[in-house]
Structure 1
Amino acid sequence: MNLQVLSQLIALTLVILSGPIVISVLAFKKANAL
C-alpha cells in the first residue's frame, strides 16, 4: 500500500467521522437561532 492510497483512506475516514459532528453542530446552531 503506497502513501497516496493511505492518505486517501485517512481523509475518507475523517470525512465519515466528522460528517455527523458537523450536522449536529449545524442543528445545534439552528436550534439556538430559533
Structure 2
Amino acid sequence: LKMIHRPAIDDSRFSSVWERFVLVQKDAYEMSP
C-alpha cells in the first residue's frame, strides 16, 4: 500500500474494494473445512 495522501474519491473507492475483499475472504474461510 502506498502511504501517500489520496483524494477522497480514491479513498472511498479503496474502502469499498477493501470491504468487498474482506467479505470474500471471510466467506471463503467460513466455507472451508
- TM-score scaled by structure 2? 0.59
User: What is the CA RMSD across the aligned residues, in angstroms?
Assistant: 1.7
Q: Which protein is bigger by CA-based radius of gyration?
A: 1
Count of aligned pairs = 26
Could you tell me which runs of 5 or more consecutive residues in structure 1 were left unpaired when the two chains were aligned. Answer: 1-7
- TM-score scaled by structure 1? 0.58
Q: Which runs of 4 or more aligned residues in structure 1 lie more than 2 Å from their structure 2 counterparts after TM superposition?
A: 10-13
Could you tell me which runs of 5 or more consecutive residues in structure 2 were left unpaired when the two chains were aligned. Answer: none
